[in-house]
Structure 1
């Protein structure tokens, strides 16, 4: 028996206000589904952040519907939990529930275990830091159920594990129920496969299916896991997807012309126009000279950015004279002003999309609901 473990698809994500980048997410997702069908997997798990925003575009909704329909037509069931990008702070039914109600896919994020073809599957939706303590009882109950089951046991979770990423970590691996044979994780965008001695099986993050604005521009690979559970030990295989190339390249102002020529030669044979970031070192007396060189790449790249960095900054942390991506700069400013990652996420990922579409009533309700959640969290912290 084999299943696909796919996460952080972020359908509907639009980068650089570019339709091509929006379609890149759909193309990567469709690839993952098509490969799963071709390889005759028994089922598919979507481990959260299915959509990029809680109120996705009609196009994103249709892309997911068509993909789930193709799975159904090939007798492949699918199961999903919700990530933070899927959950609205407003009192609204999450959009993915539509697919559950239409029996295109099964929602499993409520923590209730169920058995599918002799496999026990238990899932939990994303919980914010103020809600993490509620996992203790739920995990204990899940562990009891897992111990009773003789076959494979899969835990589906959309949280950061501290031992893997201390900055994005929300829980430790020792907090997880111990008796599962595979831990299907979502939330972290880099692929990771770990075997902890205190857990009953491997813990896997497939990573996001495409680069998002939070990851920057870099040369990397994206994909998902196929997991063979026909034996006693699960055997995860990472499947690479064909995504748009992205390059971040250092160049000295003294030889920028030859550097640009080398880049041009490198990308000529690519089937898809890449995204390029050029980090220029040295003293720039005429910015127009750099722009003239960059313009040579304009027909060969989907997007090409440049920024000036010092020689010291070219290795390690880089200070950007001007924002490379407006989404990142808006998030940085929001976080700096609000002093909170959660509040910045709410402002940029939930409130701003509503206001940009003129949905002022929904935006007002979102602010009210967000304040109520914040107040409840403060009261809970005070009691503790």
Structure 2
């Protein structure tokens, strides 16, 4: 089978025609490979489209692909958060009779050549508890099957460990699936879990600057999965995505702008070997008191005809006064006294303690500061 996800058809990054076409191109490339490999099942783990109201061209590209795939393979999908209608409307997949969408508000399952396939479409917000209840049903449903596939478009805490970024904890996942076909996280992940393999196939293109590191380390594409053996065998398939560079240039060092332009040129030469597509570059320029337009003009001359587009930002570095200079210009005793008075601590001994602690901690003398507090409180040092 083929496991693909986060194709985001219709996405128009930076409002460029070329970027919208890039997402269609890699999708069509994936379809060609799928047909060539003679798979009998295609699983899409959500965010097939970038919007529940995709452009006509995105619908046509997908219609043409499904026509070709359906003669050889079954196409099964769940909805991602981008596919999901904002209100109780129809999702774009409903236009295509040969596409089976699973799990609208509940875990839905089917039998495919003796393999259980169960999936649930994306749920968020107040529906998270419902999502967890539905997930718990999988192990019971799969008990009569030797092989099973669980499909979901959600983030798991192990891979997005930030409060509010994930919807499901790893210990809430079913344990009996042979293969977990997951979507939503754009980097590729393949790990043993429970009785099988947990897999995020990742996005098929670079959707944002944050996708660049995972693309550089692990590529972009989809997975071919062989379920015939005792355990799934997964083959990564890389697609010809448009390269992107995220580069920090420091023009404050010796050599300044000329060195930065040299580094930029080396990166452009290196990345040109990865693809026949012109790259996108993101430049973060650290500077101090420079004429920005002059820098932009120099960079524009260096990259002319060699890139699709650039995103340039400047970070102005300021010289900060030393701690000594700050201390000498501020009435520290008066300032600390005023602050302590607000908390009912007007005694001079508290002011003296605060000043001594400040001197110790500024010099990173933490142990001495702790001993000073213990002595002040009458605790044995």
Q: Same fold (TM over 0.5)?
A: yes
> For 1:16, what is the secondary structure of its paired residue?
helix
- CA deviation after TM superposition for structure 1 residue 217, in Å: 5.1
The residue number in structure 2 matching 1:146 is 142
Does 2:32 match 1:38? Answer: no
Does 2:315 match 1:309? Answer: yes
Q: Map Cα deviations across residues 175-221 of structure 1 (whole Å, 9 max, x no partner).
A: 1122111110001111111223xx22111101111111373655632
Query: Aligned residue pairs: how many?
Result: 303
- CA–CA distance in 2 between the matches of 1:143 and 1:15? 40
> For 2:75, what is the secondary structure of its paired residue?
strand
Does 2:180 match 1:183? Answer: yes
Does 2:131 match 1:127? Answer: no
Structure 2 unaligned blocks of 5 or more: 319-381
- The structure-2 alpha-carbon separation of the partners of 1:257 and 1:143, relative to structure 1 and needing over 3 Å to count, comes to closer
The residue number in structure 1 matching 2:15 is 17
> For 1:208, what is the secondary structure of its paired residue?
coil
- CA deviation after TM superposition for structure 1 residue 310, in Å: 6.0
Q: Map Cα deviations across residues 284-323 of structure 1 (whole Å, 9 max, x no partner).
A: 41112211222121311001122223679xxxxxxxxxxx
Q: TM-score, normalised by structure 2?
A: 0.75
Does 2:99 match 1:105? Answer: yes
> For 1:52, what is the secondary structure of its paired residue?
coil
- Indicate conservation of the 8 Å contact 1:163/1:173, yes or no: yes
Report which structure shows greater RCO (CA 8 Å, sep ≥6).
1
Instruction: State which drifts further: 25-34 or 210-219.
Output: 210-219
The residue number in structure 2 matching 1:158 is 153
Does 2:280 match 1:275? Answer: yes
- Indicate conservation of the 8 Å contact 2:186/2:202, yes or no: yes
> For 1:256, what is the secondary structure of its paired residue?
helix
Structure 1 unaligned blocks of 5 or more: 313-384
> For 2:92, what is the secondary structure of its paired residue?
coil
- The structure-2 alpha-carbon separation of the partners of 1:284 and 1:119, relative to structure 1 and needing over 3 Å to count, comes to farther
- The structure-2 alpha-carbon separation of the partners of 1:28 and 1:288, relative to structure 1 and needing over 3 Å to count, comes to same
Give runs of aligned pairs for residues 1-384 of structure 1, distance below 5 A. 3-73=1-71, 75-99=72-96, 102=97, 104-110=98-104, 111-149=107-145, 151-167=146-162, 168-196=165-193, 199-213=194-208, 215=210, 220=216, 221-253=219-251, 254=256, 255-266=259-270, 270-296=275-301, 297-309=303-315
- The structure-2 alpha-carbon separation of the partners of 1:223 and 1:267, relative to structure 1 and needing over 3 Å to count, comes to closer
Greater gyration radius: 2
- Indicate conservation of the 8 Å contact 1:260/1:293, yes or no: no
The residue number in structure 2 matching 1:334 is none
C-alpha RMSD of the superposition: 1.9
- The structure-2 alpha-carbon separation of the partners of 1:276 and 1:125, relative to structure 1 and needing over 3 Å to count, comes to same
